[in-house]
Amino acid sequence: MLFINKQILMDQEVVTMVTQKELCKKIESIHPEMGVCGVDFDVEFDQKVKAWAVDFHQGRQHLRTFVEIDEADSCLEEDRCLSLALQIGQLRRNFIKYTHEHALESDH
């Protein structure tokens, strides 16, 4: 796989792809409650999965979701962000639920 500007060459097929910085800024703008990219959540391209990994974290706890290349591209290039917004919102809700449940378990 070769990175060519904002394109990936995968098995002779060229796929356009947004950058990590662009995706970070978009997530910050559509979900400001997620915090700051690089501080409260991280975004990186996962070569194995061939998707963007979004990792929401606080302290030692974290939860990750994967955003397909097409979803990220649609949001940043065509302003079609419903799918990304729903997925990131669900990540945050699941994280809050998970940390709350585990806090209750440790109290007992």
Task: Count CB neighbours of 66 within 10 A.
Answer: 13
Rounded to the nearest 10 degrees, the angle between the axes of helix 69-78 and helix 82-107 is 120
The larger pLDDT score, comparing residue 30 to residue 106, is at: 30
Give whole-number Cα distances, 79 to 5, 8, 13, 85, 92, in Å: 21, 21, 24, 11, 22
Q: Could you read off the pLDDT of 40-83 as tens digits, one per residue?
A: 999 999 999 999 999 999 888 899 999 999 999 999 999 999 99
Q: Give the least confident one: 3-7, 62-66, 68-72, 95-99.
A: 3-7
Query: Predicted confidence band at 95 (pLDDT cuts at 50, 70, 90)?
Result: very high
H/E run at residue 55: strand 51-58
Query: Predicted confidence band at 26 (pLDDT cuts at 50, 70, 90)?
Result: very high
pLDDT at 33 over 80: yes
